Structure 1
Amino acid sequence: MDDMQVAFCPFCGKHLIRLTPFCCFCGRSLAFLNAIAHTEEPAVPGTSGDGPDLLQQCIKYFHEGHSYDVIVDMMSSLHGVNISLRSLKSKLNGAGLYRRKDYSSTNAIIRAIRLELRGPGQLFGYRTMWQVLKQKYNLRVKRDRVMNLLRELNPRGCERRARRRFVRRTYHSMGPNYMWHADGYDKLKPFGFALSGCIDGFSRKVLWLTWGPSNNDPSVIGHYFLSCVRNLSLVPMRLRTDCGTENGIMAAIQCTLRHHHRDYYSGASSHMYGSSTNNQRIESWWSIFREASHRIRPSRTASCPGGELYYLPHRFDSRDCGFQVEQTQLDAFPEAHLTRAPCGDANMQEYLDLAMESNQLQKAEDWQSATELYLKLKEITRL
Structure 2
Amino acid sequence: MSYKDILKSLALQGTIITERHLNRILRSRLLYRRKYDLDAEIDFSVDQLQGPGKVLGYRWMYTKCKQHGISIRKEDVRVLLSLLDPIGSQVRQTRRLRRRQYFAQGPNFVWHIDSYDKLKPYGICINGCIDGFSRNIIWLRAALTNSDLKVIGGYFVEAVERCGGCPLLVRTDMGTENLVVRDLQRYLRRNDVDDRAAERSYITGASTMNQRIESWWGVMRKEGINTWITLLAELKDEGFFAGDFIDKALSQFCFMPIIQEVLNDIRGVWNAHRIRPSKNTNVPSGIPDVMYMAPHLWGAEDSFH
Contact 1:184 1:215 (8 Å CA) reproduced: yes
CA distance in 1, matches of 2:147, 2:190: 26
CA 1:121–1:241: 2 relative to 1, 3 Å: farther
CA 1:128–1:214: 2 relative to 1, 3 Å: farther
2:203 is the alignment partner of 1:291? no
Contact 1:127 1:143 (8 Å CA) reproduced: no
TM-score (structure 2 length as normaliser)? 0.55
CA distance in 1, matches of 2:83, 2:138: 47
Amino acid at match of 1:273: T
Residue in structure 1 matching 2:169, options 211, 216, 238 = 238
Q: How many residues align?
A: 199
Q: Equivalent residue for 1:223?
A: 154
CA distance in 1, matches of 2:121, 2:106: 37
CA distance in 2, matches of 1:190, 1:318: 42
Residue in structure 1 matching 2:208, options 242, 257, 277 = 277
Contact 2:134 2:288 (8 Å CA) reproduced: no
CA distance in 2, matches of 1:260, 1:124: 46
More helix by share: 2
Q: Equivalent residue for 2:232?
A: none
Q: Equivalent residue for 1:309?
A: 291
Q: Taking every aligned residue pair, what percent have the same amino acid on both sides?
A: 41
TM-score (structure 1 length as normaliser)? 0.44
CA distance in 2, matches of 1:315, 1:111: 46
How far 1:162 moved relative to its partner?
Answer: 4.5
2:252 is the alignment partner of 1:321? no
1:330-356: CA deviation from partner (whole Å, max 9, x where unpaired): xxxxxxxxxxxxxxxxxxxxxxxxxxx
CA 1:170–1:306: 2 relative to 1, 3 Å: closer
CA distance in 2, matches of 1:242, 1:235: 19
How far 1:278 moved relative to its partner?
Answer: 2.2
List gaps (5 residues or longer) in structure 2.
1-39, 62-69, 228-261, 263-271, 275-286
How far 1:303 moved relative to its partner?
Answer: 7.5
Q: Equivalent residue for 1:211?
A: 142
CA 1:121–1:230: 2 relative to 1, 3 Å: farther
1:128-164: CA deviation from partner (whole Å, max 9, x where unpaired): 99xxxxxxxxxxxx999x9988654531212322553
CA distance in 2, matches of 1:247, 1:277: 16
CA 1:164–1:184: 2 relative to 1, 3 Å: same
Residue in structure 2 matching 1:260, options 175, 179, 191 = 191
Q: Equivalent residue for 1:193?
A: 124
More deviation, 194-203/263-272 = 263-272
How far 1:317 moved relative to its partner?
Answer: 1.1
List gaps (5 residues or longer) in structure 1.
1-102, 130-141, 296-301, 325-383
CA 1:143–1:237: 2 relative to 1, 3 Å: farther
CA distance in 1, matches of 2:221, 2:149: 25
CA distance in 2, matches of 1:262, 1:112: 40
Contact 2:111 2:131 (8 Å CA) reproduced: yes
Amino acid at match of 2:300: S
1:274-314: CA deviation from partner (whole Å, max 9, x where unpaired): 1112211111211111011279xxxxxx9766511001001
* Residue pairs, 1:361-376, within 5 angstroms: none
More deviation, 302-311/275-284 = 302-311
How far 1:255 moved relative to its partner?
Answer: 1.8
- What is the CA RMSD across the aligned residues, in angstroms? 3.7
Contact 1:175 1:313 (8 Å CA) reproduced: yes
SS in 2 for 1:292: helix
CA distance in 2, matches of 1:210, 1:121: 46
2:101 is the alignment partner of 1:174? no
Which one has more relative contact order, counting CA pairs under 8 Å at least 6 apart?
Answer: 2
SS in 2 for 1:291: helix
CA 1:179–1:122: 2 relative to 1, 3 Å: farther
SS in 1 for 2:141: strand
Q: Equivalent residue for 1:157?
A: 88
SS in 1 for 2:187: helix
Amino acid at match of 1:315: L
CA distance in 2, matches of 1:255, 1:195: 24
SS in 2 for 1:320: coil
